[in-house]
Structure 1
Amino acid sequence: MYSGVKGLFNRSQKVKGTVVLMRKNVLDINSITSVRGLIGTGINIIGSTIDGLTSFLGRSVCLQLISATKADGNGNGVVGKKTYLEGIITSIPTLGAGQSAFTIHFEWDADMGIPGAFLIKNYMQVELFLVSLTLEDIPNQGSMHFVCNSWVYNSKVYEKDRIFFASETYVPSETPGPLVTYREAELQALRGNGTGKRKEWDRVYDYDVYNDLGNPDSGENFARPVLGGSLTHPYPRRGRTGRKPTKKDPNSEKPGEAYIPRDENFGHLKSSDFLTYGLKSLTRSFLPALKTVFDINFTPNEFDSFEEVRALCEGGIKLPTDILSKISPLPVLKEIFRTDGESVLKFSVPDLIKVSKSAWMTDEEFAREMIAGVNPCVIRRLQEFPPQSKLDPSVYGDQTSKMTIDHLEINLEGLTVDKAIKDQRLFILDHHDTFMPFLRRIDESKSSKAYATRTILFLKDDGTLKPLAIELSLPHPGQQQLGAYSKVILPANQGVESTIWLLAKAHVIVNDSCYHQLISHWLNTHAVIEPFVIATNRNLSILHPIYKLLFPHYRDTMNINALARQSLINADGFIEKTFLGGKYAVEISSSGYKNWVFLDQALPADLIKRGMAIEDSSCPNGLRLVIEDYPYAVDGLEIWDAIKTWVQEYVSLYYATNDAIKKDHELQAWWKEVVEKGHGDLKDKPWWPKMQTLQELIQSCSTIIWIASALHAAVNFGQYPYGGFILNRPTLSRRWIPEEGTPEYDEMTKNPQKAYLRTITPKFQALVDLSVIEILSRHASDEVYLGQRDNPNWTSNPKAIEAFKKFGKKLAEIETKISERNHDPNLRNRTGPAQLPYTVLLPTSETGLTFRGIPNSISI
């Protein structure tokens, strides 16, 4: 596009441009505590007044264009003269909230060619957020866009001037010669040198292990093992901060405000800043105060009845005014806790009980949520009986299931077990191997008593599932003996047996809640994507086509993960307080990572591996679902196919052959680093793609996008709609099922509700859980959803733009189809007894708690 440069410009022609800046957000969570932030300087926020802003900037921000077609004596693009921002433009109606536009005029003549980048220097003592630069009326080319979206600090903090490139796209070998050195230098700046503590304004992406979850200096109870870097506790890598080690353990890093590359901070004026500020305030201020109140005023810490649980969202609970005063300054908390100003704490009504208050207790809803609930990606087809364990028998003994044919065939509607397996009608939710290695340690706690569970289900003629049996297993009671002690509970609908069955289902759900939060949600989306974010920024230039493809799917992920390490998965954090596993919770996710396989994260591969789908070329997407009405799989496969089609069309614009993939040195460095550093504990696994073919690139990019968008949406945004009613999704189990002849058994006989409430999550932990998952289930006001971009000028390639529009149209069609399926009475799993439609994979959403919407990235 840079051919025919001669004569495009008259000598000393002025090139007009528009620079867009955004004012700093006072609720930027990462700036509230910043020593150098605007709040600490006493300087007015940028953009607070037009006159003040113009005066404030003066000649404090300068730009210099760099030629993409004319080189200096060293082969680098010619650099133009310094020029400064001018007056503010008040007549641009399309600017986003908080943005201000300025004119700028560059001196540029024909001998300097076509600009392809620019340098910027900020001479002010406060940072500014640079949104974009647009050059106008370039002959034969029209406008030229530079999408920046970056914080720019005082020029003295940078070793080299900040550079931004035009919205062009080049594989490395096609980069205009004058820009090559600039391209490589920018990547080197983003890699850093691997040393030192990172500063607020740094832009360095580097790797580290999870060694900041504990704080041994605060006592032995706060010490946690390092995750990552060992066969014992393998883990994906996180972003390196360079903080000092703790005094008691040189391998552990001092916890605190984590460094994040500056442009990875939450969006600017974005309500996820607002939401996460609320989350931080919740976990650091409100919840500790709430616990004090419970310790003093609420003894015992129990719900008295199911009605009291429902009252959390229907009537609220009374709290002292000093506790609610901690909510009043925080609008996001005021929205979640719908207080009436009279010391009443009230939550949103979870979708699960909006129609029916008791449907959660039915076996059909219990089973339906395994394929249409908040954790629909674990259930698998049963292909052997009895179920086998993969735990090492030399360490754990025989862990084979104790279920028998007789246990199942009583409810198999005349079928034998062998026939039901052959007909693909038996399924299992198997959490046995995940929890058995941890049960002795978990059950040593006074507050936790848990089983490892297996649940067998049968696919009925009407397409719904019914549970046949639940196996509850404990380690052998003899401390030195291996093997498991197991009991099998069968369905019952009356008498004490029905209470025992309800309790058995609760223990299954406690296992499932913990597995969901730690593995399906945190590990399999948040944690595994962070190494891709780091490797992409270190190795793929912003000019690279694959960078432009993947970048939107990384938005805010490093920031929300850093927040999680500070408040959610840290020692004594939200997860340890409220979920089974306690101080061993994140260790459980490390054991899950041992079995993580990148290729299996693609939805079709996942369904095949779990036996939930069979390859069948006669089906539209090449797969036949074993359960035809499997909402997560049906909706998900359509989303997956749309993603892969888009990726294939886009990648094909830049790579025509496998040889082109092999010769792209940035691409090869990226993938090598993903495997060997980002996921280094699994680097020797044979299943990693070699990144030698077009198909490997397309499949890998599709999988990354799937994980960051649809998979995360499926396991995140249903948390409050399903789990906001703690009776349906308890997160803790505090006692085993009572044995006959004990006082607990007598209580269970006389007061089933009390027995259930004394088994599951108690009141304080329930309030903590509900408070946090309501925040995590919300959408930000400026969220960018799958099929959308936050800037239409993200690329100058019209074919890429057209392919992306096609992708968006396909997603709109899928949204219509999902809505139609949810209204089909023949698809009973779409709504179930709770009359709760499966909406979580509808691509778009409004702001707030909507139970739908697929953001581009893991942004909350």
Structure 2
Amino acid sequence: MEKKSLLEPVWKMFSSVENGCTEMGEGDYKVRVATGTSEYSGTNNYIYLTLVGERGESERTLLDNPGLDFCRGAVDEYQVTCSAPLGRLLLVRLEKQRYWVEDNWFCRYVTVEPPGGGGELSFPCYRWLIGDVKVEMREGTARRESEDSLPQLLAHRKAELQERQKTYRWVAWAPGIPKCIDAKTESELHQDVRFDNEKRSDFEGSLQYALLELSLKKLAIRFGKSWDDLDDFKRIFWKLRSPIAEYCMEHWKEDWFFGYQCMNGSNPRMIRRVRELPKNLPVSGDMVQGSMAPRTSLEKELTAGNIYLLDYSIMEGVPTNVIRGQRQHIAAPLCLLYQHPDQGLIPIAIQLGQTPGLDTPVFLARDPPLAWLLAKMWVRHAEFQVFQLLSHLLRTHLVVEVFCVATLRQLPAVHPIYKLLAPHQRYTLEINCRGRTQLISADGIFKRVVSTGGEGLLVLAQREYQVLTYESLQPRRDFLERGVTQLRDYHYREHSMLLWDAIHSFVEEMVRVYYQTDSDVLQDSELQNWIQEVVQEGFGEIPTFGLPGVLQTREELVTLLSVVIFTSTTQHAATNNGQFDWCAWVPNTPCTMRQPAPTDKDAVTMALIMDTLPDISQSCVEMAITWHLGRAQPDAVPLGQYTEEYFTEGRAREVIDKFRQELKDIEKHILSQNEGAELPYLFLLPSRIENSITI
């Protein structure tokens, strides 16, 4: 028997597959068993296999010798002999038993070729076998519950979900926000949703590397002290750097660059067009006339739709952090921007609070340069809080986690929607657990260096989820609602719409493969249990979310699945991938402010700015954590690529291939668009978008 250590093509067209089963007789079945490719996937334990058919079962067969087969990446071949006809093959049962020492095993798939040919059947697994355990897998053809009639298959669906519901449970992390997986730390998660060993080692090693390098910088400078001058921040630009971060360092003071980041930085969802000024922003036309193009006015530009607003009212009154005994400070700015015909989007007025008054002046571009610069820093400081906690963590990580938990609890592995979503949920539960324990916990990194660390971040989260809506997660509706469909140089909008349309088209074709009518959707009890759990359990404390608890039509299902996939891929990449680029030059996006917002424009000095910005220690940690979280992952699976191939049928494979080609076309378009650009926008290149939230 030849042992194969190289990966082989897994899926084939199975002409003999009918309704997920094949008529088989007695004789020898050729079986192939594929072991995982990650570190420690292999095992030296005993592995037994049983073929389960409609008419009976094969003998329980020991698969070769322990310690010789089931090596990492191997595809091992065996023969299983049946003395009596099995009828249609329904299941493959794998059993693992300890041999000398316990040794877990990851099985990718099993294929079975019946006696006399007739085509090979594939049984996807993609699970860890831990301890003395039995696992039963179905043939890979996706099937809704109504398409199963055999009692054995219906019982298998039910038993699988009952087991998963014991393993994956809901818990309320905090009141007023979506529920999450019941695990205090990542170590409590089931191995099936944990990082691979290589991922775990890289994740923990990269953070230690960044913190160690920047610790050396702190020792080389002055630990815990303020800077003397803005140029001092260059002293922590050591190995951790990027072309965009260096460009940012050179241009961060410029108004056009400030406006560019409002559209294409890590928080591109805040800006909105206004036709009239907010009543709490007392800006008159003559105040900003010097920022306008010739022969126009603020009133004319409001009417023309060229005035935009950043409103950080959500920050008003949020409790502030105390770091090493020193109270930190926050502001809730209003920032007015103008789409200048020559200069692009530029800020024209900034108020650092929601209530106008003598102590809350309106800062203007004509003010003393240091005063205008500090006002922009305060807006960028609010940006850091909102993009990290709300746009990034809450609106991508935690929203997607709801769908992860519901999918594991309510959809069996044979269900077409489980197969569609599984690749887009890889590693998400573990990275979210790590985020809760290491980033935003009572003693996490936010508590150490971020002005909203501690109680403030929870208040912000609760406020955001009171206004979060399902429609706002749909990019086309979001852009229309914010009035930004005509905003020039809004690369995030253009690229995300290209990707949304590609994802929506892909999902629509996949849904039509498995749901021929709207009634198929409405009558799919497993699917309805899934959406009901998403709404009632996951988002139960968000009364205005707006997602119905019943899916009535294919169109509703397509939109929802597109939102889940778009959020876990494109939207996460837009807020995550560039965070080091925009935050590495700390004055551009400070994580905290150590002095209150200025109340007197004329009193702003360089000394005040340096005393306000993060100190050396805080700056180093900001650089380290944004590099760690924003860097490209070495084991990244790009959007549209599937290392675990759940779909085996030809029609679904054709749709996947079409989706991949469309992503290639988008990639070419974006690269062509950015060729020769001084400041390229490449965060939404399909090849740089991960297929799931893994960091």
Partner of 1:17: 31
Matches within 5 A, 1:382-393: 382-385=274-277, 387=278
Cα distance in 1 for partners of 2:600, 2:401 equals 50
Cα distance in 2 for partners of 1:697, 1:6 equals 28
Partner of 1:567: 438
1:669-712 CA distance string (max 9 Å, x none):
00000000011112575453641111100000000000000000
Cα distance in 1 for partners of 2:130, 2:444 equals 34
Change beyond 3 A, Cα 1:578–1:107: same
Cα distance in 1 for partners of 2:529, 2:59 equals 35
Partner of 2:11: none
Partner of 1:856: 691
Provide the aligned C-alpha RMSD in A: 3.1
CA contact (8 A) 2:218 2:620 kept: no
Change beyond 3 A, Cα 1:416–1:451: same
Within the alignment, does 1:408 sit opposite 2:288 as a pair?
yes
Give the letter aligned to residue 840 of structure 1. Answer: F
Partner of 2:307: 426
**Secondary structure at 1:186 match in 2:** helix
**Secondary structure at 1:19 match in 2:** strand
Within the alignment, does 1:471 sit opposite 2:351 as a pair?
yes
Matches within 5 A, 1:781-796: 781-791=634-644, 793-796=645-648
Cα distance in 1 for partners of 2:601, 2:530 equals 64
Change beyond 3 A, Cα 1:410–1:4: closer
Cα distance in 2 for partners of 1:734, 1:7 equals 70
**Secondary structure at 1:680 match in 2:** coil
Change beyond 3 A, Cα 1:697–1:445: farther
Change beyond 3 A, Cα 1:273–1:490: same
CA contact (8 A) 2:223 2:616 kept: no
Partner of 2:490: 630
1:674 pairs with one of 521, 529, 534: 534
Deviates further, 273-282 or 670-679: 273-282
1:214-246 CA distance string (max 9 Å, x none):
xxxxxxxxxxxxx23xxxxx11111113xxxxx
Give the letter aligned to residue 61 of structure 1. Answer: I
Q: How far did 1:819 drift? A: 1.2
1:84 pairs with one of 62, 65, 77: 62
Partner of 1:248: none
Change beyond 3 A, Cα 1:299–1:565: closer
Within the alignment, does 1:62 sit opposite 2:42 as a pair?
no
Identity of aligned residues (%): 25
Moved over 6 A (4+): 4-7, 88-91, 293-297, 440-445
CA contact (8 A) 2:402 2:538 kept: yes
Change beyond 3 A, Cα 1:147–1:46: closer
Give the letter aligned to residue 80 of structure 1. Answer: S
Cα distance in 2 for partners of 1:695, 1:446 equals 53
Cα distance in 2 for partners of 1:600, 1:423 equals 25
Within the alignment, does 1:114 sit opposite 2:50 as a pair?
no
Cα distance in 2 for partners of 1:86, 1:370 equals 61
Change beyond 3 A, Cα 1:474–1:733: farther
Q: How far did 1:415 drift? A: 2.6
Cα distance in 2 for partners of 1:238, 1:6 equals 37
1:449-479 CA distance string (max 9 Å, x none):
2221011111122472011111111779xxx
Matches within 5 A, 1:770-781: 770-781=623-634
Partner of 2:562: 702
Within the alignment, does 1:375 sit opposite 2:262 as a pair?
no
Partner of 1:767: 620
**Secondary structure at 1:735 match in 2:** coil
Cα distance in 1 for partners of 2:662, 2:498 equals 9
CA contact (8 A) 2:320 2:452 kept: no
Q: TM-score, normalised by structure 1?
A: 0.73
Give unpaired runs (5+ residues) of structure 1: 26-44, 48-52, 72-77, 193-203, 211-226, 229-233, 242-254, 314-345, 389-399, 477-482, 613-624, 825-830, 845-852
1:305 pairs with one of 204, 211, 229: 229
CA contact (8 A) 2:189 2:430 kept: yes
How many pairs were matched up?
674
Partner of 1:840: 683
Deviates further, 120-129 or 808-817: 120-129
Within the alignment, does 1:577 sit opposite 2:448 as a pair?
yes
CA contact (8 A) 2:426 2:692 kept: yes
Change beyond 3 A, Cα 1:466–1:138: farther
Q: How far did 1:795 drift? A: 1.4
Matches within 5 A, 1:213-228: 227-228=174-175
**Secondary structure at 1:736 match in 2:** coil
**Secondary structure at 1:181 match in 2:** helix
Partner of 1:275: 202
Question: Greater relative contact order (Cα 8 A, min sep 6): structure 1 or 2?
Answer: 2
Cα distance in 2 for partners of 1:676, 1:106 equals 47
Cα distance in 2 for partners of 1:735, 1:577 equals 17
Q: How far did 1:739 drift? A: 5.7
Change beyond 3 A, Cα 1:807–1:686: closer
1:811-840 CA distance string (max 9 Å, x none):
11001111121137xxxxxx5xxx321000
1:762-817 CA distance string (max 9 Å, x none):
111111111111111123333211111103x4212211101111100001100111
CA contact (8 A) 2:91 2:136 kept: yes
Matches within 5 A, 1:495-644: 497-583=368-454, 584-612=456-484, 625-644=485-504
Change beyond 3 A, Cα 1:597–1:79: farther
CA contact (8 A) 2:186 2:194 kept: no
Cα distance in 2 for partners of 1:150, 1:518 equals 33
Change beyond 3 A, Cα 1:604–1:352: same
Change beyond 3 A, Cα 1:150–1:488: same
Give the letter aligned to residue 186 of structure 1. Answer: E
1:637-665 CA distance string (max 9 Å, x none):
00000000000011001112111111000
Within the alignment, does 1:351 sit opposite 2:249 as a pair?
no
CA contact (8 A) 2:531 2:551 kept: yes
Within the alignment, does 1:132 sit opposite 2:109 as a pair?
yes
**Secondary structure at 2:666 match in 1:** helix
Partner of 1:240: 182
Cα distance in 2 for partners of 1:634, 1:445 equals 46
Change beyond 3 A, Cα 1:172–1:9: closer
**Secondary structure at 1:437 match in 2:** coil
Give the letter aligned to residue 590 of structure 1. Answer: Q
Give the letter aligned to residue 146 of structure 2. Answer: S
Change beyond 3 A, Cα 1:112–1:510: same
